[in-house]
Copies of this chain bind each other. A is one copy, B any other.
Amino acid sequence: MEELKTRADVKDTGVNEQSSAHLVSVGPDRIKAFSDGVFAIALTLLILQVKVPSPSQISSEAELQNFLLQQWPAYLSYALSVVIIGHFWVAHHGLFHYIRRANRMLLWLNILFLLCVTFIPFPAALMSEFSNYRTSVVIYGATLAVAGLLFDLMRWYATYQHRLVDKDLHPQVIRTARRRNLTGPLIYLLGIIVSFIPFNISGISGIQVCLALYVLVPVIYFLPGRTDSYWAGKLPTKKGRDGAN
């Protein structure tokens, strides 16, 4: 059934025949399902970086509470990373919602993107342990920025000249989603730059401002954007059913 539907879409939308040169037997639905699995696992593995003290270290309630309070960067890093991977999952679905077929290049761009996503638990653990080191904060931001940029490359590749998407997909939709998704990488790069500025105003250093900028990213993504308006506006039209998906 799914195959038939996909086939129909391919016919209707007249995708660029040129681009079919390297079609592969793994369709967009399979890529989506596999990526979902990777997102879910990467997200769940993050908790392994939050450490439980060894009983030999602890001899009273106060000591246990102290240990747990002192590893606040671990909780922050955990929550930030879960939310960011959640965001990538949402963005990935948004992109693959338009994609009508896959080719080898898309497959590999996706594998490279997932390589970055599954890497996230490492810089997250690094930032947990070394939250006051520029090195770890920079590596964390850089990983997320690279993941975001790879995702944008994948989007560009799929949508350029409607290579793998519907012919009638409005360029405005692509532009809006793109702007939205590049916000993250831009803030991460800004955070990295700020972390290198040697200042210290009433105990607040560049590294801490950088961390605050990282926290800003999920807040921005939480706010509804133009992409949503598009979905809402399109709902009652012919393409509307996509909106509900």
Contacts and interface: CB of A to CB of B under 8 A. Distances in A.
Interface of A: 1-7, 10, 20-27, 30, 33-34, 36-50, 52-55, 58, 61, 64-65, 68, 78-79, 82-83, 86, 89-90, 93-94, 97, 100-101, 103-104, 107-108, 111, 114-115, 118-119, 121-122, 125-126, 128-130, 133-136, 139, 222, 224, 227-229, 231-232, 235, 240-245
Contact of A1 (B1, B23, B44, B133): B1
B231 A58 contact: no
Nearest to A40: B37
In the complex this chain forms, how many copies of it are found? 4
Nearest to A19: B232
A-B CB proximity, top 10 nearest: A37-B40, A7-B241, A41-B44, A86-B111, A27-B245, A23-B231, A22-B228, A22-B224, A25-B97, A52-B125
A130 B243 contact: no
Given A23-B243, A34-B89, A100-B244, 5 more contacts: A23-B231, A23-B232, A27-B245, A78-B119, A82-B111
Nearest to A26: B93
What's the dominant secondary structure at chain A's contact region? helix
A10 B245 CA distance: 11
B65 A25 contact: no
A232 to B, nearest CB: 5
A115 B139 CA distance: 23
A130 B33 CA distance: 35
B134 A61 contact: yes
Contact of A241 (B6, B65, B122, B229): B6
A129 B58 CA distance: 10
A3 B8 CA distance: 14
